[in-house]
Structure 1
C-alpha cells in the first residue's frame, strides 16, 4: 500500500512538473525560410535514349564546362516551413545543358543534344534532439524527377530532324540532418538522404555539407558541397548520373 502511494505521488509530481514547464514555455509559432542558391556541379554519368543516332550519351564535364553548356537560366531554390519540432522542407532545381553532336557529316551536317533536368524534393522532418548548440532531425518524403532529351540534326543528305524523349518518376526518401553551432554566429550543417529502393529509381542518394554564418537574426549565408546521384532505367530510356560541386546559398527567415 505504501509503495502504491509513493508511485502515485511520484507520477503526480512528474505530471505537475511537466505541466508547469509547458506553461512556462511559449507555444510554438510558424516560421518560414527561403534560400535561393547557386550550385555549380560537375556532371558524370550516362543518359540512354531510344533516339536514332544517339543511343547512349556519356557525360563527364567539369563545373566550368557545365556553365558554358547552359542553354537556359537555371533555377535553384530551397525553403522550409517550421512549427516547433516539426518542419516541411523543400528544394527545387532546374537546368538545361546543350552539347554539339558529331554526325561525321554523313547523312546530317552535325547537330546538338539538349538535356533538361528538373528535380523537386519535399520532406517532412521532426527534430529529435534540440539542444542549445546542436540539433538532429529525421524525416521522410519524396523526390520528383523529370529528364527531357532533345536531339536536333542539321540537314545534309537527309533532311533535318528533331527527336525528343522524356522520363518522369517519383522516389520515396528517408533523410537526416544535423547542425552544430561552433560559435554564436558560425555553425556546421550536414544533410543526407537515400531513396528509390526500386520503387522509382534503383537508387538515389544525396549528401550536403556546409559552413553557416548568421549575418543577422533573419539572414544566414551557407557555403558548402553537394552531391546528388540517381540511377533509373525504364525500358529503352534511362539515366545514371551524378551531380557534384560547390554551392553558396542565402537563407532568409521570417
Structure 2
C-alpha cells in the first residue's frame, strides 16, 4: 500500500507539470505581468485528526488520530492546488481527497466478528480573489468563495449474528468562506507565503477555518519547492451525523509556474 502511495506522489508531480486552471492558494510568488499566469502545486499534507465524530445519531466520540495511523490505513489520496491570475484578478482551486479503510475486531464476536470500515472524504475549495498589493517584494490577495466538504462512512459486518449487514452514514455540505493570502520575496530565490480563511457561518457548518504558513525555494523561474504547516477545522452536525474536527500537520509541495 505504501508503494502505491509513493507511486501516486510521483504521478501527482508529473501531472502538476501540465497547466491547470487555477491557484486558490499559491505557494510561490508570481512575477508581475498583465498576461495570464498559471500556478500548479502537487502537495502532501501529513495531517493528523482530532475532535469529535458521530454517526447514526449516537453520541459523538472523541477521536485523536496521528498521521502515522492515517498513513497505515490510507488506500488512496490526492492533493493539488491550482491558480490562474490576470492582472490583479485571481481564480483558484484546492482539492484534497482521501480514502481510508480498516477492519477492527469486535469485543466479543457475537453480533459480528469484524467490521469493515471505509471512510472517504473530499475537501474542494473554489475562490476568486483580487490583489490589493502586488509588488516585486510583497503581495496580498483578498479572496471569497466556497468549500465543499463530503464525508462518507461505510460499514460492513462480518461473522456473528449480523453477518452481511451493511450500513453507511455521512454528509456533504458547502461553506462560504473569505480570507487573505500573503507572499513575501525574502531574496530572489527564497520566499515566504501563507493564508488564512474563515467560513461556514451557519450556512453549511457552524464554523470552519483554514490557516497555512511556510517558505519556499525557487530552483528556476518556473519550479520551486515549499515546506510549511497547515491547520484546518470544521464544526458540522446534521441528521445525526457529527463532524467537529481539526486537521493539522506539515505540508510539502512541488510548485510549477507558467
The TM-score with structure 2 as length reference comes to 0.83
Q: Distance in 1 between matches of 2:100 and 2:164?
A: 21
Q: Distance in 2 between matches of 1:49 and 1:61?
A: 17
User: Runs ≥4 in structure 1, deviation > 6 angstroms?
Assistant: none
2:221 aligned with 1:217: yes
Q: Distance in 2 between matches of 1:91 and 1:41?
A: 16
Structure 1 residues 190 and 205: CA distance shift in structure 2, 3 A:
same
Q: Is the 8 A contact 2:226 2:254 kept in 1?
A: yes
2:44 aligned with 1:48: no
1:97 is displaced (CA, Å) by 2.0
Q: Distance in 2 between matches of 1:214 and 1:230?
A: 33
Task: For residue 244 of structure 1, give the secondary structure of its aligned residue in structure 2.
Answer: strand
2:88 aligned with 1:88: no
Alignment: residue pair count:
226
Structure 1 residues 76-85 or 107-116, which shifts more? 107-116
Task: For residue 113 of structure 2, give the secondary structure of its aligned residue in structure 1.
Answer: strand
Q: Distance in 1 between matches of 2:93 and 2:105?
A: 39
Q: Distance in 2 between matches of 1:112 and 1:43?
A: 20
Structure 1 residues 192-201 or 125-134, which shifts more? 125-134
Task: For residue 142 of structure 1, give the secondary structure of its aligned residue in structure 2.
Answer: strand
From 68, 73, 78, the counterpart of 2:76: 73
5 Å-filtered alignment, 1:134-173, equals 134-173=138-177
Deviation string 1:155-180 (CA, Å, 9 cap, x unpaired) is 21332211112201100000101111
1:117 is displaced (CA, Å) by 0.9
- Listed as ranges, the gaps of 5+ residues in structure 1 are 1-25
Structure 1 residues 95-104 or 35-44, which shifts more? 95-104
1:102 is displaced (CA, Å) by 4.4
The TM-score with structure 1 as length reference comes to 0.84
Q: Provide the residue aligned with 1:34 in structure 2.
A: 40
Deviation string 1:210-238 (CA, Å, 9 cap, x unpaired) is 11111111112110111111110112112
Q: Is the 8 A contact 1:40 1:247 kept in 2?
A: yes
Structure 1 residues 27 and 180: CA distance shift in structure 2, 3 A:
closer
Q: Distance in 2 between matches of 1:97 and 1:74?
A: 9
Deviation string 1:64-122 (CA, Å, 9 cap, x unpaired) is 1110011x220100000000111111100001222344432121112132221101001
Structure 1 residues 58 and 114: CA distance shift in structure 2, 3 A:
farther
- Listed as ranges, the gaps of 5+ residues in structure 2 are 1-31
Larger Rg belongs to: 1
Which one scores higher on RCO, CA 8 angstroms, separation ≥ 6? 2
Structure 1 residues 225 and 167: CA distance shift in structure 2, 3 A:
same
Q: Distance in 1 between matches of 2:85 and 2:114?
A: 52
Q: Distance in 1 between matches of 2:33 and 2:193?
A: 26
